[in-house]
Structure formats: structure tokens, C-alpha cells
Amino acid sequence: MTKEALGGMALIGATLLALAVANLGGLQAYEAALHAEFGLSVLHWINDGLMAVFFLSVGMELKHEMVDGALRKPSAVALPGLAALGGMVVPALIYLWIGGPVQGWAIPTATDIAFALGIMALVPGVPAGLRSFLLTLAILDDLGAILVIAIFYGHDLQVTWLALALVPLAGMVTLMRLRQDRTWPILALGAVLWVCVLQSGLHATLAGVVTAFCLPAHSRSGGHPLHDLQTRLSPWVAFAIVPIFAFANAGLPLADLSLTGADGVIALGVAAGLLVGKFVGVFGVTVLLSRFGLALPAGVGWGHLAAAALLAGIGFTMSLFIGGLAFRGGEEMNAVRAGVLGASTLAAVLGLTLLRILSGARGKGAV
């Protein structure tokens, strides 16, 4: 089993554990542990601290692909990039059309990279071009989510702290230009940047992406500092950081769940945005662009694209993350959890089923 598949299984396991704890008598202890204070609450450290490392990893992967990988040519980014845009706009419109509270519009716009690629990795014989398409789409989708968080979910902007953030940023850019093999000085300045951004009122995870883009892809000695760090960090992200986030944010008490009235509208809006909006946005934009001459990746058919569009509806990590910013807790957040978990599960099952059907047909020689 591949690392991506194992990471997906770890994520599923952490989610099931959170649901079990929240519903089998451990809810009070679970919530008490998450709200214990160590300067910040444990939940705050997870959502602002560990997730900054997650976005550091996302940023490193994107920069590596842009410098040395499949995204070196702008033409390679056009199709998944515009599909990602469609996959953000349509879900938001569906959520608002259903009548969800305005502050939650961004919840169904996100795709969970680890979960989506983990599900895809469970199917043998998937075209390499399809994985590259979904990876690019999910990365650009998550970076779009970071911009949304920075612009729409900041609070009480502190200009002094924002100005102070320019100091470590300038230091990181200077070190990047020196192209040294050592990455720890940039990471140390990135930690200072994280503190400044946290205090500024912008969301602290933005510091992770900025730090990633300041890491040198190549050193003067011929090394690859960015890729080397990404390789060392990725197992920690897949098997520790993302599962810890899932465990901390997926604890939905089912016995107390009420999906009537306003809470039901939130859950329905989130679920429809992820399951229907993502599919229509990603697949619809891809079909439209193909009419204007943009070709599908090599070896990828429309059935494969439909499966990828379904898997893009697995919002999970990022959708829960944005939900926590939009709704600080209580019944509204439980409605978000219900919508995200329900839609993400169904999107995963449908996408996996379609990929298995296509894989079986391909094995029998069907086109």
C-alpha cells in the first residue's frame, strides 16, 4: 500500500476515533482536553500551529512542482487551475442559494489533498496524468482557501504586528537568495513570522505558505534543500499532523445533533456545496475548457475526470478548518461537521467506486 493510501487510512482512523470518543461517554473529557490552556488552548495550537506546518508542506510541494515538476509550464497549470476556480465558485454559490449564513460560504470550497489522493491511491492502474491533475487542483484549491482565510476570516487587523512581520520576511528572502543547503535559519525566521502573523489578526497558517516559498529549491552546491525538507516532513504531516487535526475537529456528538431549522440549512448547504457544487464546478469547467482547445492529461478520459471531480468533494480537513473560523462552536459547528463528514464520505465512496469500475474496464481492454 502506498504512503498516500496509508495516510488516507490514518486520517479515516483518527476521524472514527474522534466520533467514538464523542459518542461513547468521553465527550466532556475530549472537550476539556482541547480547551486546556498552554498560552493558547490545545485546539488553538493544533489549528493555528500544526496547520501552519501542514501549509508549509503544501507550499513546498507546490513550489517544487513549479520549479522542477509538472507545473513548470503555465499550460500544465491552466486546466486544473481553472477547474479549481470553478470548484470554489460553484460550491459557494450553491451554499448561499440554499440559504446558509453568509460567514460560512467558504466552507464547501476546499478539497482535502491527503484524503482525496489517499482514496485515489487505493485503486491500481490510475493514469499518472489523473493524479497530477487532482494534485494540482487540490493544491491550488488549498492555496485559494488560504487567500480566502487571510482576506475574509482575519479579525481586528493589527498594523504594527503586520509591519513587524516584514522583518523576518525580508530575512527569509535574503537567505533564499544565498541558496544555502541549510534550511533551519529560514524555518527559524518562519517561526518568528508565524508569531507576527498570529498577533496581526491574519490567520497564522498564512506564515507556513510564505515560509515554503522562501525555501531555496536549489543550492549553490547542487543540492535540493526544498525537496529534501519536503521529503523529511511529509511523513510527519501525513501520519501525525493531519490525523491530530482530524481527531481534534471531527468529534461530532450524534445524540445531540439537530438538523432542523437554521442548523439543518447549514448542514445541507455545506453538503450540497461539496458533493454537487464541486462536481459541477470541476467537471463543468473542464468540459467547457476542452471546447476551447485545452486537452485532457495523457491517458485520462472523461470517466476519470468525473471520478476526480467527485473526489474533489472531499472537503474534510480544510472544510472543518474554515468551519471553525466561520462558526466558533456550538450547534452551528456541529451542523458544519455533519455536512462535511456526510458529503466527504459520500464523495469518497462514489469517486472510489467509479475509479474501480474504470480500472476494471481498462484491465479488460475497454476504452
Which residue bears the cell 487505493? Answer: 122
Task: Select from 286, 318, 332, 248 the least CA-distant residue to 108.
Answer: 318
Q: Mean pLDDT: which of 11-25, 68-82, 110-124, 147-161 is highest?
A: 11-25
Average pLDDT estimate for 349-360: 90
Grid cell of 275 as nine digits:
458533493
**What's the rounded Cα separation, in Å, for the pair 353 and 351?**
5
Q: Are strands 37-38 and 40-41 parallel, antiparallel or unpaired?
A: antiparallel
What is the band of 25 on the pLDDT scale with cuts at 50, 70, 90? confident
**What's the rounded Cα separation, in Å, for the pair 350 and 127?**
18
Grid cell of 329 as nine digits:
462552536
**What's the rounded Cα separation, in Å, for the pair 279 and 308?**
9
Q: How many CB atoms lie within 10 A of CB 365?
A: 6
pLDDT of residue 362: 58
Q: What is the pLDDT of residues 299-324, one digit of tens each?
A: 888 999 999 999 999 988 889 889 98
> Is 366 a residue whose pLDDT tops 50?
no
Which DSSP string do the residues of 249-274 spell out, in sequence order? H----GGG---SHHHHHHHHHHHHII
Grid cell of 165 as nine digits:
512581520
DSSP class of residue 107?
A: G
Q: Do 338 and 266 touch, CB atoms closer than 8 A?
A: no
pLDDT of residue 165: 94
**What's the rounded Cα separation, in Å, for the pair 80 and 137?**
5
Q: What is the pLDDT of residues 160-172, one digit of tens each?
A: 998 999 999 999 9
What is the band of 361 on the pLDDT scale with cuts at 50, 70, 90? low
Q: What is the mean pLDDT of the chain?
A: 87
SS3 content of the chain, % helix, strand, coil (to 5): 75, 0, 25
Q: Which residues of 312-322 are buried (b: 16+ CB within 10 A; e: fewer)?
A: bbbbbbbbbbb
Q: Which residues contact 330 (CB under 8 A, 6 or more apart)?
A: none
**What's the rounded Cα separation, in Å, for the pair 38 and 17?**
24
Q: What is the pLDDT of residues 219-265, one digit of tens each?
A: 998 899 999 999 999 899 989 998 999 899 888 888 767 777 888 99
**What's the rounded Cα separation, in Å, for the pair 298 and 347?**
24
The lowest-confidence range among 34-43, 44-53, 113-122 is 113-122
Q: Do 89 and 281 touch, CB atoms closer than 8 A?
A: yes
> 38 in helix, strand or coil?
strand
Which DSSP string do the residues of 285-341 spell out, in sequence order? HHHHHHHTTPPPPTT--HHHHHHHHHHTT--HHHHHHHHHHHS-SHHHHHHHHHHHH
Q: Do 207 and 185 touch, CB atoms closer than 8 A?
A: no
pLDDT of residue 143: 76
Share of the chain above pLDDT 90, in %: 46
Grid cell of 228 as nine digits:
529534501
**What's the rounded Cα separation, in Å, for the pair 81 and 143?**
11
pLDDT of residue 12: 86
pLDDT of residue 282: 95
Q: Do 85 and 285 touch, CB atoms closer than 8 A?
A: yes
Say which CATH class 3-363 falls into: mainly alpha
Kindly provide the residue ranges of all beta strands, DSSP E only, lying in 29-187, ordered along the sequence.
37-38, 40-41
The lowest-confidence range among 14-28, 40-54, 103-117, 144-158 is 144-158
Q: Mean pLDDT: which of 1-10, 13-22, 146-155 is highest?
A: 13-22
Q: What is the pLDDT of residues 179-194, one digit of tens each?
A: 988 999 999 999 999 9
Indicate the Cα dihedral angle 105, 97, 87, 367, nearest 10°: 150
Share of the chain above pLDDT 70, in %: 96
What is the band of 367 on the pLDDT scale with cuts at 50, 70, 90? very low
> Is 96 a residue whose pLDDT tops 90?
yes
pLDDT of residue 1: 60
Which residue bears the cell 527569509? Answer: 172
The domain locations on the chain are 3-363
CA 345, 15, 5, 321 torsion-angle sign: positive
> Is 82 a residue whose pLDDT tops 80?
yes
Q: Considering only residues 165 and 133, tell me which one the structure prediction assigns the higher pLDDT.
A: 165
The lowest-confidence range among 95-109, 131-145, 306-320, 333-347 is 131-145
Q: Mean pLDDT: which of 68-82, 261-275, 326-340 is highest?
A: 261-275
Q: How many CB atoms lie within 10 A of CB 89?
A: 15
